[in-house]
Structures are given as structure tokens and as C-alpha cells.
Amino acid sequence: MPPPAVAGKSIHLIRHGQSAFNIAFDSLTRVDPMIFDAPLTDFGREQAQSLRWEVHSLGVELVVTSPLTRAIQTTLHAFGPDHAPIRVESLHTERLEHSGDVGRSPQALRTEFPHLAFDHLEDPWWYNDGSHPQAIILESEERLLGRVANFRAWLARRPEKTIAVIGHGTFLNRLTGHHFKNCERLTIQL
């Protein structure tokens, strides 16, 4: 039986910093630049580092990051490895629409980020129809909304009262109705 939901939770939702995909996609008039699992740009790293002072005073007990590289990098620049426990969770990854939403295997992520745990992730953990690991298969709105509901329930079951979530624009929009800019933070109560 799952633990009961904790009342009065503060969830700090943060969209990742600017990624190489964001820059290329916008400069190519919204044509997919075929950059898979794009890292942060230099500016994206600066954005994430500028969050450090802001998030330091929030009393975050758990940081939950998407397994996409741009979210992990944002997490590490904003919170550092010792701020609070970091959990990598695929439930709130971006809606698969473009190459930048296709992830990498847990083994590849473990090699780049050896201090984080990835063993609990499926391979592939991103939306995929089994045809090819890097296939760009559009995730339906219905499936995305199902993940949003499951993630909200997952957060409600967590014992922590203050959680930071580093995620992605489309997913966070469906969770809140808000359009997030890179490294924007919005706090919701559960």
C-alpha cells in the first residue's frame, strides 16, 4: 500500500536552461535541427547557475530531474550535487515531438553523470514504438496528459514537503497551464 499523500507540499517547477536544440530550432524557423538529447549552451549554463542563489533559500528536500541531458545539467548547475538528494525520473520528461526529446540509454547517462542513479530507468525510457531507439515518434496528447496525471500522483505520494522539479516546457505547461521560459521557476501547492 503506498504511503498517504503529504498535505501542504510546495513544488518548485523549473524549466531547463537554454539548450543547443532551442537555439538551432529557433534560428532555423522552427525546423528540427536533428540534435538528439541536446546539452545546455553556455548561456543555458549561466541561466542555471544564476538560479543557485534563488533555490538555496527554498528548503528543498528533494530535486527531481528529467533524464534528458539539458535537465540534468540545469539541476547540477542550479543545485550542485550536495544541495539535496537528486532523483532522476523519466515520468516528467518532455513530450516526444523532435530529436531533442529523444534520450540516451541509462548506461550512456551513467558514464557522463556517474554520481547519479539511472538503474531504475527502462531502456529506452523516452516514448518509443520499438522501431529504432532514435526514432522520432510523436507522443499523443492523451498519453502526455496521462503522464502528467501520473507524475502529479507520484509527487503527492512523496514524503518530502518541498520538492524541486527540473523539467521541460511542454510537460510543465500541461501540468500548470503556464508557458515557461528557460530557467523560469513557478511554485505550486499540492
Global pTM reads: 0.93
Which helix (H) or strand (E) is 13 found in, with range? strand 10-15
Q: What pLDDT score does 2 carry?
A: 46
Amino acid at residue number 174: R
Q: What pLDDT score does 6 carry?
A: 46
71: CB partners within 8 A, 6+ apart: 16, 65, 93, 166, 167, 168
Q: What are phi and psi of 94, to 5 degrees?
A: -70, 155
Place of cell 558514464: 111
pLDDT in tens, 89-112: 999 999 999 999 999 999 999 999
Instruction: Please state the domain extents for the chain.
Output: 10-189
Q: What percent of the chain has pLDDT over 70?
A: 96
Angle between helices 141-157 and 169-176 (to 10 degrees): 70
Cα 189 to Cα 70: distance, rounded to the nearest angstrom: 25
Answer whether 19's CB lies under 8 Å from 47's CB.
no
Amino acid at residue number 23: I
Q: What pLDDT score does 187 carry?
A: 97
Q: What is the CATH number of domain 10-189?
A: 3.40.50.1240
How confident is residue 134, by pLDDT bands cut at 50, 70 and 90?
confident
Q: What pLDDT score does 5 carry?
A: 46
Mean pLDDT of 42-50: 98
87-116 burial, b for 16+ CB within 10 Å, e for fewer?
ebbbbbbbbbebbbbbbbbbeebbeebeeb
